[in-house]
């Protein structure tokens, strides 16, 4: 598993990434009805898939398995909160040594568990 971060400006990696052809369109992997169909499709699209993986590794935009699983289980949400509440959350989170968004998620999870238990 690759977890890559590099200094890009003027690097050899930057040149290597710029040499890779940009895909004309995103390759979408279909749902398969059998393992044979899956193997056939992957065999036919092997070069495109390898190129996409190589580009992602060189760009440093790969995910660890843990990150991919977490991303698949969560959905982004936008909330409008009072500035004073955000300031308070940031201060408390900093004291605890965690990010403020992580702290907000913890508080929400705890409140939901408490509410669900009261019903």
Q: For residue range 81-103, list pLDDT tens digits in order.
A: 999 999 999 999 999 999 999 99
The rounded distance, in Å, linking the Cα atoms of 41 and 32 is: 9
Low-confidence spans in the chain with pLDDT less than 50:
1-10
Q: What is the pLDDT of residue 90?
A: 95
Strand, helix or coil for residue 38: helix
Closest alpha carbon to 32 in 24, 44, 41: 41
Q: What is the pLDDT of residue 62?
A: 78
The rounded distance, in Å, linking the Cα atoms of 5 and 61 is: 9
Closest alpha carbon to 72 in 85, 63, 61, 80: 63
The rounded distance, in Å, linking the Cα atoms of 86 and 104 is: 9
What's the pTM? 0.43
Q: What is the pLDDT of residue 24?
A: 61
Handedness of CA 101, 67, 64, 24 (dihedral sign): negative
Contact at 8 Å (CB) between 41 and 30?
yes
């Amino acid at each position: 598993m690759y977890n890559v971060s590099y200094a890009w400006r003027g690097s050899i990696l930057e040149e290597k990434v710029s040499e890779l052809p940009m895909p004309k369109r995103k390759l979408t992997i279909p749902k398969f009805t059998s393992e044979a169909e899956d193997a056939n499709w992957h065999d036919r699209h092997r070069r495109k898939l390898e190129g996409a993986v190589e580009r992602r590794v060189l760009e440093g935009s790969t995910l660890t398995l843990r990150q991919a699983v977490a991303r698949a289980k969560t959905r982004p949400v936008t909330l409008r909160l009072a500035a004073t509440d955000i300031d308070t959350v940031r201060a408390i989170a900093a004291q605890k040594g965690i990010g403020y968004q992580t702290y907000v998620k913890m508080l929400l999870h705890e409140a939901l568990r408490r509410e669900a238990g009261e019903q």
